[in-house]
Amino acid sequence: AQTVTQSQPEMSVQEAETVTLSCTYDTSESDYYLFWYKQPPSRQMILVIRQEAYKQQNATENRFSVNFQKAAKSFSLKISDSQLGDAAMYFCAYRRGTQAGTALIFGKGTTLSVSS
Amino acid sequence: DGGITQSPKYLFRKEGQNVTLSCEQNLNHDAMYWYRQDPGQGLRLIYYSQIVNDFQKGDIAEGYSVSREKKESFPLTVTSAQKNPTAFYLCASSSLRVGTEAFFGQGTRLTVV
């Protein structure tokens, strides 16, 4: 079975600084997708970024980027130029790539606080 | 606007009662999911459905039941057999295209009183 581990329950960063959230996963599959979701205090889950395992290039979305290390099964999220609005819980998630409609498997989350 | 609607936002249940959480989507997604969120536990899968009239148990299905009579709707019933039902419940949907993300509703907070 696939598992997702987020080893940092809490992280903090100052405005305008950069922070990296860690995520590791365990799978025997070669085809899969990885996601980072943000859950602000409103509790609405918002997709931040997505990575296809077959792509070597790291995904980037504005201030958000990932460091995808397939051999190490690592998928960290880097937030640059942090803003107060980035304060939220962040979840790393895995999805199998060989079967449509399978559920996402989530880590336990990292709570990010941002100070001014 | 397309999206997923969960209702109610807050729900209170007396011990021994069954309650049903509503989830409706107008995204034309085939797959729908129910997750439970507890502090420090992340999101855990309760049930999911990839097609009407079919669904599969997730990791924590005991004490829950679902139905999928319509593509748009995937209600979750929390039965009296669920020993610790107080939690935040999230409904999600996705297309069947491989690798697509899931879209989430705003959640229902269930409290046992």
A7-39 confidence digits (pLDDT tens) = 999 999 999 999 999 999 999 999 999 999 999
3-class SS of residue A103: coil
Mean pLDDT of chain B, nearest integer:
95
B64-90 confidence digits (pLDDT tens) = 999 999 999 999 999 999 989 999 999
Closest Cα in chain A to B58:
A103
Q: Give the residue from A4, A36, A39, A43 with the most B CB atoms within 10 Å of its CB, the best one to mutate.
A: A43
Question: How would residue B98 be classed by pLDDT, with cut points 50, 70 and 90?
Answer: confident
User: Omega into B85 within 30° of 0, i.e. cis?
Assistant: no
Rounded to whole angstroms, the Cα distance separating B82 from A8 reads 30
Closest Cα in chain A to B30:
A101
Question: Are residues A101 and B41, on separate chains, in Cβ contact within 8 Å?
Answer: no
Q: A106 burial class (0-12, 13-18, 19+ CB within 10 angstroms)?
A: buried
Is it the case that residue B2 has pLDDT exceeding 90?
no
- Could you give the count of Cα atoms lying within 13 Å of A60 in the half-sphere of its Cβ? 6
For residues B100-108, average pLDDT: 96
Partner-chain residue, chosen from B99, B102, B104, that has the shortest CB–CB distance to A97: B99
A51-101 confidence digits (pLDDT tens) = 999 998 999 999 999 999 999 999 999 999 999 999 999 999 999 987 777
Question: How would residue B1 be classed by pLDDT, with cut points 50, 70 and 90?
Answer: low
